[in-house]
Structure 1
Amino acid sequence: MPETPFGSPARRSEIIELAALEGHDADVPSNVGFIEEHEKAHHRKHLPEAANSTDVDLEKDLEKNGDTASLSSEDDVAGEAAAEAEDPNVVWWDGPTDPENPLNWSFFKKWGTVGIVSALTFLTPLASSAFAPGVPEVMAEFHSTSQLLESFMVSVYVLGFAFGPLIFAPLSEMYGRLPIYHICNILFIIFTVAAAVSTNMSMFVVFRFFMGSAGGAPLALGGGTIADLISREQRGTAMAIWLLGPTMGPCIGPIIGGFLTQAKGWRWNFWLIAILTGGFACISFVLMRETSAPVILARKAKRLRKETGNPNLRSKLESKLSGKELFWLSIIRPTKMLTRSWICFLISLYVAITYAYLYILFTTFTSVFEQQYGFSGSVVGLSFLGLGIGSLSGQFVFTWAGNKTATKHIKAGDFKAEHRLEIMLPGGFFIPIGLFWYGWSVQAGVHWIVPILGTFFVGFGLLLTFMPANTYLVEVFTVHAASAMAANTVLRSIAASLLPLSSQQMYKALGYGWGNSLLGFVSLALIPIPFIFRKYGERIRKSSKAIA
């Protein structure tokens, strides 16, 4: 079997786990190796041939947790690894304490990098909603009365999240994570400043989209950076810190934005983001180093070829995929998994609609609490607190209950992918409860704390839907988990950017009570999905095929 950076054998599950964290499928090398497929043992030289092979040769039972004949068995991998170990041309770490290995970096160097990446991962989701309280000012300044644009200027940012990572992921495999961080930080700052100085609505919306595209880099690469640096035993703590960004950023943003808009105007929301990101970008230029093991070893092999004159030296983690193939698979695989796997499509649909509800609330909170409750421009940001506290609570409950459930079944020896859905079963009920509560309390005009308490349940249910769905996709698709999660990300980002466009018209036609009830009824209709997969998921996986 492949060896870990410390020389002990890498289990297949560890390779898959690392690949999922790094945002690529397990047939692309991570720092403990990769799982090779027999169909791809030969190296395809031309993209059209790769496309044909993807269409014909790579059909396999992806939903059977990767247990198919097309995947290399552990014995095969062990034999290949043993052959490589005897090959003097294979370049690997210089022992278990090699200082080039990011896992051997000093405590401060490792956790300093985690801190920088976590800060960037907090700032980019925060920017998605920070200026939401300033939307009325933007509309007035650009002389627009379009309700569609009023919603789209907020949600278009999330549309960028759908497309940016599809490009960044394969580029990071070819050139390393560090250049992508630096380039995307610079682009994010440029587009943020451009949004701040926009002179018309078209400019503003376009730059918001590009902000989201560049801002997706820390979200796409952060998990991989943590996996590069932190041992498996300590990784949970680092991941918990990193996940606070996408969990809390969108909810804290409007609180800051409300007071900043009132004091300095809407443009200062963007200036603040640009200043903070610029500070952390400068820190990253000085302190961050490349962490991707395949890239570090590839550079080491290149250096040794030059020093020794031996052209046959190669990295042990050298990928058999060309750059064109990486791009092809990163775009085509998720699309095929969405269209040819019922599990991937229905779970992603559930998450997409739920996630869209979050941005429907983001784009309408300002008008609701200003018009219905007379909140000032500064205080209106506090109306997002219910969502934020609910999301944070859901994060803690998922971590505790999910780990407890998995540990129990693993000890009993009967664990299967569907056990990841157990926390999702009750979690789905909180979203319609919260929507009914919020909508009818606003409609009735009761005290403002009542609808905010309702949004707590929406945020709580969102996390208990979103997190189990992702872990379930990893368990089901194993080797190709990253493609399944990419499919999930694309669908939910598109839904979150487009569905809110009709929210104002919906509330105008139905009122806040029936409008949110409509959303609640749709959410109720989706609740059976995890119940069906919890009971029949294993049978579905064994009888269906998806295309990689």
Structure 2
Amino acid sequence: MADLEKQPDCQTTTDNTVDFEGPNDLENPFNWPQWKKLRQLVLMAVNTFITPLASSMFAPGVAGVMRDFRESDMMLASFVVSIYVLGYMVGPFIIAPLSEMYGRVPLYHTCNVLFLIFTIACAVAQSMPQLMVFRLLAGIAGVCPLTIGSGTVADMVPKEKRAGIMAIWALGPILGPVVGPVAGGFLADAEGWRWVFWVIAIATGVMTIMCMIWYRESYAPVILARKAARLRKATGNEALRSVHDKGRMTRQRFLSTLARPIKLLFLSPIVFLLALFAAVTYGYLYLMFTTLTPIFENTYGFSPGLAGLAYLGFGIGSIIGLVVCGYVSNHIAQRDSAKGCFRPESRLPPMLVGCWAIPAGLFWYGWAAEYKVHWIVPILGTGVFAIGLMTVFMCANTYLVDSYLKYAASVTAANTALRSLVGAVLPLAGPSMYDALGLGWGNSLLAFISLVLCVCPVLFWRYGEAIRTHPRFQLTL
């Protein structure tokens, strides 16, 4: 299939092949009015914010859950939070390929409704096993906007502006887990942990209704398939087919489509290594989440509500990284496109610089907390870390989407699944690691690992195109 960004000049390439009608066809999502694109992107950003919010908003209320269900195992306390992110590992492998078969909108609506149902189930759970199962199912459904959001952006936004718009979408996966503990700390303290889920359910219900009213399908192959169906009915010509039509969906094609994210993850070294870098960084974020509240409560004497405010360092750093990275990425894309030399590797320069903020922030946060210096110092360290996190997150996503534009949802699914697996599992090792090494050397160990991974962007900047285009790594998708 040709690049989805190229807008065709005629309705048909043969007498019976249906395509968009010229470069200005308003059915083509690239030609939608700005207000229509903006409405879709704002709704998508809200959708992408609410479901990650649920991953961590519940964290300050874990003590109440353990007390109500008479549990004392601290690993279980960590797992009831991170099992939601484990659901993020399962969902993308189903959601992304289905969105490339049936379109984005049916998946958004179905997953939003399921997420609402399972969130309410969490609010009324009567035992720890029930709560954990419902959290897992909510995570599987809630990962939908994270999985196909980048695909929705790629459906509508040309590459020269894509990084800036992707930055708005990226606010959700990063700021959701950051804002969650801030709001959840006060809410759980005042009303109890069940009200955390009720508030999320209310917000989800409002958002779901708005999405059902205003979401529009943006995936070009599905739009053209529907157009071909209308023309067949209007003209009686049963031979009319979309330009993207590959024939009847066979069982083999269906299974091959479902396997696409797995093939991208394990058969493409670029996808695997960039996803691994993003995954380790994301895992560090959740690992730090598990230690931040106890540090500020026990060391600095913060109340549970005030301890949630310590997460604002992550939020402010994320916004700084988002603004700078989005601006620089768009500038580079516009410059290279004007010269006719744009390639996916044009997305990597911000990461070449920004990724070094990750080990710097880890060293800063770890040793400041170890020596119990003024509370603002470790918070500033988390802000530096967040700048690097946002840079890696955004550049990895835009690079992978530009490399596999037609399969943007599937490559994002591969990235999201690996990231979520590490984000769910790594925090479980946090308490024992910090007990053995302390906050200073524990975070230094994480920083040394990230220093090694900082070599990946340099390698892909120099050799990425050769690896992508090498016949050995050309995938049959």
TM > 0.5: yes
Aligned to 1:354: 281
Q: Residues 349 and 304 from structure 1, CA distance in 2 versus in 1: closer, same or farther, beyond 3 angstroms?
A: closer
Q: CA deviation at 1:236?
A: 6.1
CA deviation profile, 1:39-66 (whole Å, cap 9, x unmatched): xxxxxxxxxxxxxxxxxxxxxxxxxxxx
Residues 391-410 of structure 1: matches in 2 within 5 Å? Answer: 391-409=318-336
Distance 1:165 1:399 in 2: 25
Identical aligned residues as a percent? 50
- Give SS of 1:311's match: coil
Aligned to 2:13: 85
Aligned to 1:119: 46
CA deviation profile, 1:142-184 (whole Å, cap 9, x unmatched): 2222222222222222222222122122323333332222211
Aligned to 1:14: 5
Aligned to 1:27: none
Aligned to 1:241: 168
Q: Residues 333 and 283 from structure 1, CA distance in 2 versus in 1: closer, same or farther, beyond 3 angstroms?
A: closer
Aligned to 2:188: 261
Q: Which of 298, 301, 305 matches 1:374? A: 301
* TM-score, scaled relative to structure 1: 0.78
Deviates more, 1:525-534 or 1:189-198: 525-534
Q: Residues 323 and 121 from structure 1, CA distance in 2 versus in 1: closer, same or farther, beyond 3 angstroms?
A: farther
Q: Residues 503 and 189 from structure 1, CA distance in 2 versus in 1: closer, same or farther, beyond 3 angstroms?
A: same
Residues 207-286 of structure 1: matches in 2 within 5 Å? Answer: 207-228=134-155, 238-286=165-213
Residues 486-525 of structure 1: matches in 2 within 5 Å? Answer: 486-525=413-452
Residues 463-478 of structure 1: matches in 2 within 5 Å? Answer: 463-476=390-403
- Give SS of 1:193's match: helix
Q: Unaligned stretches of 5+ in structure 1?
A: 3-10, 16-31, 34-77
- Give SS of 1:545's match: helix
Residue 182 (structure 1) aligned with residue 123 (structure 2)? no
Distance 1:327 1:158 in 2: 27
Q: CA deviation at 1:395?
A: 1.1
Deviates more, 1:307-316 or 1:180-189: 307-316
Q: CA deviation at 1:461?
A: 1.0
Q: Residues 289 and 436 from structure 1, CA distance in 2 versus in 1: closer, same or farther, beyond 3 angstroms?
A: closer
The total of aligned residue pairs comes to: 475
Q: Residues 522 and 280 from structure 1, CA distance in 2 versus in 1: closer, same or farther, beyond 3 angstroms?
A: same
- Give SS of 2:374's match: coil
- Give SS of 1:434's match: helix
Aligned to 2:291: 364
Aligned to 2:367: 440
Q: Which amino acid aligns with 2:383?
A: F
CA deviation profile, 1:179-227 (whole Å, cap 9, x unmatched): 2222111100000011111122211121111111111222233344445
For the pair shown, the structure with the greater C-alpha radius of gyration is 1
Q: Which of 153, 157, 161 matches 2:84? A: 157
Aligned to 2:263: 336
* TM-score, scaled relative to structure 2: 0.88
Q: CA deviation at 1:394?
A: 0.9
**Aligned residues of 1:330 and 1:483 also touching (Cα < 8 A):** no
CA deviation profile, 1:445-496 (whole Å, cap 9, x unmatched): 1221111111011111111222222333345556666544433222111111
**Aligned residues of 1:154 and 1:363 also touching (Cα < 8 A):** no
Q: Residues 402 and 304 from structure 1, CA distance in 2 versus in 1: closer, same or farther, beyond 3 angstroms?
A: closer
Q: CA deviation at 1:544?
A: 6.5
Q: Which of 178, 196, 201 matches 2:123? A: 196
Deviates more, 1:345-354 or 1:267-276: 345-354
Q: Which of 132, 148, 151 matches 1:205? A: 132
Residues 48-127 of structure 1: matches in 2 within 5 Å? Answer: 84-87=12-15, 89-92=16-19, 108-127=35-54
Q: CA deviation at 1:104?
A: 6.3
Q: CA deviation at 1:97?
A: 7.2
- Give SS of 1:318's match: coil
Q: Which amino acid aligns with 1:458?
A: F
- Give SS of 2:272's match: helix
Q: CA deviation at 1:99?
A: 6.5
Distance 1:101 1:108 in 2: 15
Q: Residues 195 and 323 from structure 1, CA distance in 2 versus in 1: closer, same or farther, beyond 3 angstroms?
A: farther
Q: Residues 433 and 321 from structure 1, CA distance in 2 versus in 1: closer, same or farther, beyond 3 angstroms?
A: farther
**Aligned residues of 2:322 and 2:390 also touching (Cα < 8 A):** yes
Q: CA deviation at 1:513?
A: 1.5
Q: Which amino acid aligns with 1:462?
A: L
Distance 1:528 1:219 in 2: 26
How well do the aligned residues superpose, as a CA RMSD in angstroms? 3.1
CA deviation profile, 1:425-453 (whole Å, cap 9, x unmatched): 22222111111111111111122111111
Q: Unaligned stretches of 5+ in structure 2?
A: none
Q: CA deviation at 1:387?
A: 0.8
**Aligned residues of 2:160 and 2:330 also touching (Cα < 8 A):** no
